[in-house]
Structure 1
Amino acid sequence: MELKIKELPSVEKALNFDLEEYATMLWSTKYGLWKWDILNSKIYFSDRCFEMLGYSENNIYPYISHLIYKDDIKDFSDSLCYHIKNKIDIFHFEVRLVKIDGSYIWSYIEGKILYDKCGKALKMLGSISNITHRKKWKDNLYKIAFYDTLTKLPNLNKLKSDLEKLCRSSNSFSVITLNIDNFRTINNTLGHDIGDKYLEKISMLLQTFCSNNCSVYRHSGDEFVFILKNKDASQVVESFANLVQKTLSNNTFYIKGNELNITTTIGISIFPDHTSVPSELLRFSSSAMYYAKNFAKSTYIIYNDTISLIALKKSKLENNLRVALNNNEFEVYYQPQVNIKNGKLIGMEALLRWIKPDGSTIMPSDFIPIAEDTGLIISLGEFVLKEACSQTKLWHTKYSIPLKISVNISEKQLENKNFVYIVSDILKETKLDPKYLELEITESSAIKDFNNIVALLNKLKDINVKIALDDFGTGYSSLSYLKELPLNTIKIDKSFIDNIECDQKKKAIIKSVIILSHDIDLNIICEGVETEDQLKFLKSINCDEVQGFYFGKPLYAEEFECRFLK
């Protein structure tokens, strides 16, 4: 007899199950029992089955196909046919069964198929158990493992899994890494609650691009990834990237009284053009995105060989940086700071240099960004702080000159909740009086998490450490927040000093900043002074201190001592 599952058998209540069939099934009483008489195409249910689904013999659907959830019928039928066709006697299947109220339960169906001597299927005996609770628990675990709790988007685990599946085929697709520009500023200045709401709204927008050929994932923090499936991926992906950026930029969110716009930077990699390795596709698109950010935000770039070489160079530099830290290849240099009125040395700025074993020097601009990205800046920052404090204390003892030492502090260091304790411990260890230590923070660092920074700086002020606002004029340059920050010094950036001799606007700006700063009892130091004319102008407008090549380049400790202290 050839089985025709297209016409699934009718359902009836079993009046009895004979003892031989009970002995064959050995089912627990908590299970519903069923019997399928294959020859007359009828299925019989026990009372427990009817109770489980809420039916009686009077209102049960007439055919088993009506009881099976529509999306499960084909898979159930195919599996049943396969078992009978191949003379497999044990059958088990998870399926949704429709209850009388239209809802469904997840059921685990088990059965044993009985054949005659000729191998013809005669009947099946089995059980039905309600596994809805177990299925929900399993689904919850799956969601926790593969979906982001904030945005409800598939997460990095799901992204990796889907990429591995896609890379097993030959069909072209694109990986599009999208980063929200300036998200950290929003998060730090307005708070994480608003930052989270902002990400939720962006996620909802990103989901509008999804289809059978397009899916979106939350990679991490403010980074999302699209997978765009298309046989002409390289042609379609640019139009898609443009559409995403245009759509996002045309939206404005209003969250708790804050008006927030969206701009994004995108990096793209293509399978199999760039690589057929899932992890590399993800890495290449991310590299392209960060490469784009180096030039201009709100753009997109498709991965290429140039980006590959830059990423490789960065990777090598990162590895070398770790080795250099272990091998103590770093040295602190010192640049003099001078009282403009009497020309006397009043302190120095500590500047980090990487001296390689071959004697060559790598400048901070080449390795500090990587150190910040990798978190190595924390170790480097502590090294500079300890070395600078120790050296200053040594010069205090040796020459009895009350020199101050200025040390640059990175944003990552300021984010460390133990930073104040680290500074305090270093001062105790080196025995340097805190009043001689001046920590330099940038405008961008100060404004990104303003309230927390104010609290942190006040704690430093409580232990008598001085604070300077570095690079003033290059960032937000808002004079309004100067009164809120517990500052001692404003350091005007070199870009304002360059060509000041013939730039009347620069002169007017610096003069105004100095007058205002003095009115609120702040010291002013101008860096980048290289000519006598610059010095004369700064003297004429009552600048307090100066620093630059006119007085001396950064020097290692022994050379600085020989030139300025002996």
Structure 2
Amino acid sequence: MKRWNKILIPIFFLLMIMASLFSVRSIVSMQGYAKLINYLGIVRGCGQRIAKLEVSRQPKDNLISYVDGILSELETGEGKYGLSPLHDKDYEQSLSKLTREWKEMKREIYQVRKGSDTKDLLSFSENFFDTANNTVFVAENYSNEHIQSFTRLSIILSVVAIFTWLCIVLIYFRNLFHLQRKNTNLESIAYRDDLTNASNLEKFRLDAEHLLASNPLYKYAFFHLDFQNFKYCNDIFGYDFGDRLLKQYAFYLSEDMNEGETFGRISGDKFVVLRRYNFREELLARQKAVDSRMRAFAMDSKEHYSLTIFGGICCAEDVSSDMEIDSILDRANFAQKTVKGQEERHYAFYTDSIREQMIEEINIQSRFNDAINEKEFLVYYQPKVNLSQGTFDSAEALVRWQTKDGNLISPAAFIPVLEKNFLISALDQYVFREVCSFLKKRIDDGLPVIPISVNVSKIQFYNPDFLHIYSDIKESFDIPDGLLEIEFTESVGFENTEYFLEIISRLHEHGFLCAMDDFGKGYSSLSMLKDMPIDVLKLDSLFFVNSRDSKKDLTVIRGIISMVKELNIQTVAEGIEEQSQVEFLKTIGCDVVQGFYFYRPMPSEQFSQLLSR
């Protein structure tokens, strides 16, 4: 029986497929025949219609073009009407005659339009009608013959279909076994992430529950991992690069997994990991090693992307033993959010204080829109002193949050929260508008003004509408060119140099000055500065704070500032608090100093008074 099944079933299914294909082809052919005959009828009627119109001196060139298109497609099979030529000798001869008579009829039409008598045209139209009519009959005969053939074959195929159905019934139980095996494969697919082939959240949850239950004597920790600003990575470098990062990170995590451990990708750039450990230091060391490999991969790629990864860790021993996996992951996520956006800390363990911190951050996030609308954010100004002149000739706009009850919230408390929740762009634009309003009022009052710099976050910079928004605000306040300076962090400049150069160039076209902020924090590359048309380079205080007693450091920094000045870039040292630092900066030729030694950030009213002296 099995032997016969192996022989008969393929034959029956092959016949079934052939029957299906033949039936489809038959239906399509019959539809094509009907369509072809219909268009032949149109040609037949149009011939007479055109002749009557020409006789009555009402030419219709579009109708002639219509007939031209149909006849051409009937001959070649190429055109917009979907007509296929019939491969029948009688039909081809009749169609050829019809085409010739149409050409003769068109020549007579043009003679009539020149003034010739219409009798010949009427005669041509009658001949054309007869030929078209005959062509229709030939096509109908051809179609009828094929329909009869189709009918006979359909009866035969119906009988084959009955036998095929009987065959399907006979092998029903065999198919059941096959379906069971296929369901097993589908179940495996349903638990895997398509892109990285890592476990999805459901599979990770099941595996984690099994591992915890099977290994009660082991200590386990849950990780919640996330890339910083991954959305903007996709927007700027493209989804192909983003996908490569995700697949490579999954590969590195898989290599790090030991027996009794698992990981998964739960969404976007978010990964979860379950690791065993003896000491918590092991957990950090292993994760840092994985992330170090990933950062090197991103930086060594042609995109030279500076990737930052943040992680939260929740140890199972720190929570209730009956807590669900999702709740433990939530706590790891809470921990991760407390460090996301920070430059120094990238990992955090969940503690009782984490939840309180998250509540405070949620409070900041929820109050933000109302604070913007009610102008609780205040712009402070910190003057910058020109060392050669001994007076300030520019300033930087900074932001403070003063609540309704008069309390000030530190920027260190709310800026990171706004950054990681993608709200910082709204604050950037708010500060920029306030600065423009401040300058506009002084200009209208005839009071002196100086250039003011405003900070632009990485998220704002990568906003496709950034340049359009800022130039529109500048123009709406009618601020003269050269009074507004845009500050970017150095990481923005070195992550995507080509895009950075394009934005700088377009900012200059709209009258903005451009500054690179925080130079010296780890991304610094003097060789790249020569290709960056920035106006100002701001040196971070850490860049020179320990250089006063070191001749070697003094030589290096003097060389850097000298080179930067050769590039016609103004140098600004920020965070200056001591006289010895000022003297050192004068010695090495620094242009401008900003810091508490000269001025602290001040409210706009106080700054306005200082500016008016």
- Which category of TM-score, normalised to the shorter sequence, fits these structures? 0.5 to 0.7
Asked whether 1:274 is paired with 2:319, we answer: yes
Task: Name 2:570's counterpart in structure 1.
Answer: 523
**What CA distance in whole angstroms lies between the structure 1 residues aligned with 2:523 and 2:238?**
19
**What CA distance in whole angstroms lies between the structure 1 residues aligned with 2:368 and 2:540?**
28
- Secondary structure (helix, strand or coil) at the match of 2:444 reads helix
Q: Does the aligned pair in 1 maintain the 2:211–2:260 contact within 8 Å?
A: no
Task: Name 1:36's counterpart in structure 2.
Answer: none
Q: Does the aligned pair in 2 maintain the 1:188–1:448 contact within 8 Å?
A: no
Percentage of identical aligned residues? 29
From the CA coordinates, give the structure whose radius of gyration is larger: 2
Q: Aligned in 2, Cα 1:139/1:425: closer, same or farther, shift over 3 Å?
A: farther
**What CA distance in whole angstroms lies between the structure 2 residues aligned with 1:236 and 1:12?**
65
The aligned runs of 1:100-179 (5 Å cut-off) are 148-156=193-201, 158=202, 175-179=222-226
Task: Name 1:545's counterpart in structure 2.
Answer: 592
Task: Name 2:177's counterpart in structure 1.
Answer: 69
Q: Does the aligned pair in 1 maintain the 2:431–2:454 contact within 8 Å?
A: yes
Superposed displacement of residue 302, structure 1: 4.4
Superposed displacement of residue 520, structure 1: 1.1
Match for 1:462 among 500, 506, 509?
Answer: 509
Provide the alpha-carbon RMSD of the alignment. Answer: 4.6
Q: Aligned in 2, Cα 1:50/1:239: closer, same or farther, shift over 3 Å?
A: farther
Task: Name 1:341's counterpart in structure 2.
Answer: 388
Asked whether 1:472 is paired with 2:580, we answer: no
Superposed displacement of residue 519, structure 1: 0.9
Task: Name 2:612's counterpart in structure 1.
Answer: 565
- How many residues align? The count is 449
Q: Which amino acid aligns with 2:196?
A: T
Task: Name 2:130's counterpart in structure 1.
Answer: none
Superposed displacement of residue 439, structure 1: 0.5
**What CA distance in whole angstroms lies between the structure 1 residues aligned with 2:317 and 2:543?**
50
Task: Name 1:117's counterpart in structure 2.
Answer: none
Task: Name 1:391's counterpart in structure 2.
Answer: 438
TM-score normalised to structure 1 length: 0.66
Superposed displacement of residue 287, structure 1: 2.8
The aligned runs of 1:116-265 (5 Å cut-off) are 148-156=193-201, 158=202, 175-179=222-226, 193-207=240-254, 214-227=261-274
- Secondary structure (helix, strand or coil) at the match of 1:511 reads helix
**What CA distance in whole angstroms lies between the structure 2 residues aligned with 1:164 and 1:208?**
18
Asked whether 1:435 is paired with 2:482, we answer: yes
Task: Name 1:118's counterpart in structure 2.
Answer: none
Q: Aligned in 2, Cα 1:105/1:351: closer, same or farther, shift over 3 Å?
A: closer
**Cα distance per residue 1:417-451 (max 9 Å; x no partner):** 00001111110121111321111111112212222
TM-score normalised to structure 2 length: 0.61
**What CA distance in whole angstroms lies between the structure 2 residues aligned with 1:353 and 1:559?**
15
Q: Aligned in 2, Cα 1:320/1:401: closer, same or farther, shift over 3 Å?
A: same
Q: Aligned in 2, Cα 1:370/1:12: closer, same or farther, shift over 3 Å?
A: same
Q: Does the aligned pair in 1 maintain the 2:449–2:611 contact within 8 Å?
A: no
**What CA distance in whole angstroms lies between the structure 2 residues aligned with 1:341 and 1:454?**
30
Q: Does the aligned pair in 2 maintain the 1:434–1:463 contact within 8 Å?
A: yes
**Cα distance per residue 1:383-438 (max 9 Å; x no partner):** 00010121122223334434111111110100100000111111012111132111
Q: Aligned in 2, Cα 1:246/1:370: closer, same or farther, shift over 3 Å?
A: closer
**What CA distance in whole angstroms lies between the structure 2 residues aligned with 1:461 and 1:259?**
25
Superposed displacement of residue 69, structure 1: 2.4
Structure 1 runs not aligned, ≥5 long: 1-9, 14-29, 31-45, 71-94, 97-103, 107-134
Q: Which amino acid aligns with 1:69?
A: F
Q: Aligned in 2, Cα 1:470/1:210: closer, same or farther, shift over 3 Å?
A: closer
**What CA distance in whole angstroms lies between the structure 1 residues aligned with 2:390 and 2:255?**
65
Structure 2 runs not aligned, ≥5 long: 6-19, 21-161
Which structure's residues are more often helix, by fraction? 2
Q: Aligned in 2, Cα 1:539/1:417: closer, same or farther, shift over 3 Å?
A: same
Q: Which amino acid aligns with 1:336?
A: P
Task: Name 1:111's counterpart in structure 2.
Answer: none
Q: Aligned in 2, Cα 1:47/1:303: closer, same or farther, shift over 3 Å?
A: farther
**What CA distance in whole angstroms lies between the structure 1 residues aligned with 2:353 and 2:579?**
44
Which structure's residues are more often strand, by fraction? 1
Q: Does the aligned pair in 1 maintain the 2:304–2:495 contact within 8 Å?
A: no
Asked whether 1:308 is paired with 2:355, we answer: yes
**What CA distance in whole angstroms lies between the structure 2 residues aligned with 1:237 and 1:550?**
43
- Secondary structure (helix, strand or coil) at the match of 1:354 reads strand
Task: Name 1:332's counterpart in structure 2.
Answer: 379
**What CA distance in whole angstroms lies between the structure 1 residues aligned with 2:524 and 2:305?**
21
**What CA distance in whole angstroms lies between the structure 2 residues aligned with 1:67 and 1:376?**
57
**What CA distance in whole angstroms lies between the structure 2 residues aligned with 1:501 and 1:185?**
40
Task: Name 2:555's counterpart in structure 1.
Answer: 508
**What CA distance in whole angstroms lies between the structure 2 residues aligned with 1:259 and 1:438?**
27
Q: Does the aligned pair in 1 maintain the 2:277–2:283 contact within 8 Å?
A: no
Q: Which amino acid aligns with 1:303?
A: Y
**What CA distance in whole angstroms lies between the structure 2 residues aligned with 1:405 and 1:282?**
45
**What CA distance in whole angstroms lies between the structure 1 residues aligned with 2:393 and 2:442?**
12
Q: Aligned in 2, Cα 1:534/1:236: closer, same or farther, shift over 3 Å?
A: closer
**What CA distance in whole angstroms lies between the structure 2 residues aligned with 1:258 and 1:437?**
31
Q: Does the aligned pair in 2 maintain the 1:245–1:298 contact within 8 Å?
A: no
Q: Does the aligned pair in 1 maintain the 2:207–2:262 contact within 8 Å?
A: no
Q: Aligned in 2, Cα 1:223/1:397: closer, same or farther, shift over 3 Å?
A: same
Task: Name 1:126's counterpart in structure 2.
Answer: none
